[in-house]
Amino acid sequence: MNTDGSIAERPKNTIDWQALRHDFPILHQEVNGHPLVYLDNAATSQKPRRVIDALCHYYENDNANVHRGVHELSNRASAAYEGARNRAAQFVNARSADEIVFTRGTTEAINLVAQAWGTQHIKAGDKILLTEMEHHSNIVPWQLLAARVGAELVYLPVICDQGQLDLSRLDEWLTSDVKLFAMTHISNTLGTVNPVAELCARARKVGAVTLVDGAQSAGHCLIDVQEIGCDFLAFSGHKMCGPTGIGVLYGRLERLEATPPYQGGGDMISTVEFQSSTWNKVPHKFEAGTPHISGAIGLHAAMDYLDAIGRENIAQHDHELAAYAYGELAQLKGIRLFGPHIGRAGVVSFLAADVHAHDLVTVADQRGVALRGGHHCNQPLMKKLGVESTARASFYFYNTRSEVDRLVEVLKEIQKFFGGNS
Ligand code: C6P
């Protein structure tokens, strides 16, 4: 994927995607009497054997607390945990592992920035610019901050029928009183790929700090924080073949250094006295208490696994499969599709006439097809689109064209069942 958000044309890769499915034990089962077709990858991805084995290996051989003991197991656990940090730095091309803070996920990473950095740097009357396609995780923390300090939230509009941000109006919104611009890289409802490098460059011109929500992009395309030029980037391990409960906040070193601690406790201090404390250096200042050690180790294995496939290849595969699904669904009568017509990431949201999204996904589940129905934590976007919910198919590299065909077949059955068009 190019940094302007477009999908780079690449020669056809020679990866045997079907063979990669064997790496995922969970995919080979029947659900409700049908072979599982797992199309809910934007919610969470499945885990390859390599990640499951890394977790087992850690618990069977090296389990101990980090940064505390001087015994062998603690040394091994600490080395593995810090090894994961180094790997995460390399994964997003950070300048240093000190720029990588482990969090519980994207949500906690954004809350860390909003609470710790935001409280220090956003003042009454300042503006925080978001986009209308943000996930609640990239709205609510800023609402809490804005209410606390008296700042104002403003939103870059979405052009509904195109599923794109209205970039022609960016100058209207990105004014000099905007102190922070937080944007999603890939929309979890629309599948839109935003030109984050361009948006960050424009933000820099007015002196705004930038945060990129990489929840839907980190495991799906190459991420280079230096090329994007963002100040912060947040992502979750569980959406990219890693375990739940582990995520990453990348922060430009000088930003992290200018940020007070987020939570207090063990490991984040340098010295503690009865009345006051001093802080550990970045990034440990932000990791109070025993961290999710096995999670970081599992995430390390996931990053290795994804890079062995090649994230450019994954992006291309996602893009082709989503385009195929979009094209097939567009041929069904009574289906309303959301998001961009071309250049989308692996997410396709839709509605079938006269069928509620929840009914649609419930019946699909009875046929073994796992979709998500609802507002996808995008309530303001839903309101803008004039709907309450959508059904959503979201793809990863282990999904196949025949699974898309199965989705289409099931949708036709659903339309017939509910008496709609087909
Ligand atoms: N979206 C979905 O089904 P966490 O829960 O912290 O790992 O990720 C939150 C989050 C933040 N930003 C975006 C763009 C996201 O898509 C998500 C998670 C899931 O779409 C669960 S609502």
Any atom of ligand 1 within 6 Å of the Cβ of 236:
yes
| CA atoms of 217 and 213, how far apart (whole Å) | 8
- The ligand 1 atom at the shortest distance from the C-alpha of residue 213 is 12
With 90 as the cut, is the pLDDT of residue 70 above it?
no
- What's the confidence (pLDDT) of residue 10? 52
CA–centroid distance, residue 107 to ligand 1 (Å): 8
How confident is the model over 332-360, as a mean pLDDT?
Answer: 96
Q: What residue owns the CA closest to ligand 1's atom 18?
A: 43
Provide the pLDDT confidence category of residue 291 given band limits of 50, 70 and 90.
Answer: very high
Across all residues in the chain, what is the average pLDDT?
96
Q: What angle do CA 36, 55, 39 make, to 5 degrees?
A: 20
Any atom of ligand 1 within 6 Å of the Cβ of 372:
yes
What three-state secondary structure class fits 9? coil
- The structural domains of the chain, ordered by start, are 12-48+311-417 (3.90.1150.10), 53-307 (3.40.640.10)
pTM across the whole model: 0.96
Where is pLDDT greater, at 244 or 5? 244
| CA atoms of 261 and 115, how far apart (whole Å) | 9
Any atom of ligand 1 within 6 Å of the Cβ of 411:
no
How confident is the model over 351-375, as a mean pLDDT?
Answer: 97
Q: What residue owns the CA closest to ligand 1's atom 17?
A: 215
Provide the pLDDT confidence category of residue 1 given band limits of 50, 70 and 90.
Answer: low
How confident is the model over 216-226, as a mean pLDDT?
Answer: 98
How confident is the model over 6-25, as a mean pLDDT?
Answer: 80
Q: Which of 165, 230, 215, 202 is nearest to 381 (CA)?
A: 165
Any atom of ligand 1 within 6 Å of the Cβ of 216:
yes
How confident is the model over 28-38, as a mean pLDDT?
Answer: 98
Provide the pLDDT confidence category of residue 135 given band limits of 50, 70 and 90.
Answer: very high
Q: Which of 221, 230, 241, 377 is catalytic?
A: 377
Any atom of ligand 1 within 6 Å of the Cβ of 105:
yes
- In sign, the C-alpha dihedral spanning 402, 18, 300, 252 is negative
Any atom of ligand 1 within 6 Å of the Cβ of 370:
no
pLDDT in tens, 79-114: 999 999 999 999 999 999 999 999 999 999 999 999
Provide the pLDDT confidence category of residue 304 given band limits of 50, 70 and 90.
Answer: very high
pLDDT in tens, 163-195: 999 999 999 999 999 999 999 999 999 999 999
Is the distance from CB of 100 to CB of 248 less than 8 angstroms? yes
| CA atoms of 212 and 195, how far apart (whole Å) | 11
Does residue 377 have an active-site annotation? yes
With 90 as the cut, is the pLDDT of residue 397 above it?
yes
Q: Is the peptide bond before 283 cis (omega within 30 degrees of 0)?
A: yes
CA–centroid distance, residue 373 to ligand 1 (Å): 14
CA–centroid distance, residue 86 to ligand 1 (Å): 24
Where is pLDDT greater, at 242 or 13? 242
CA–centroid distance, residue 135 to ligand 1 (Å): 7
- The ligand 1 atom at the shortest distance from the C-alpha of residue 108 is 6
Provide the pLDDT confidence category of residue 69 given band limits of 50, 70 and 90.
Answer: confident
Any atom of ligand 1 within 6 Å of the Cβ of 106:
yes
For residues 372, 376, 380, 382, the Cα torsion angle rounded to the nearest 10 degrees is: -10
CA–centroid distance, residue 136 to ligand 1 (Å): 8
The number of helices, as runs of H, and strands, as runs of E, in the chain is 15, 19
Q: Which of 154, 152, 150, 153 is nearest to 119 (CA)?
A: 150
Which neighbouring-strand residues pair with 10? Answer: none
Instruction: Say if strands 347-352 and 335-337 run parallel, antiparallel, or are unpaired.
Output: antiparallel
- What's the confidence (pLDDT) of residue 422? 45
Provide the pLDDT confidence category of residue 3 given band limits of 50, 70 and 90.
Answer: very low
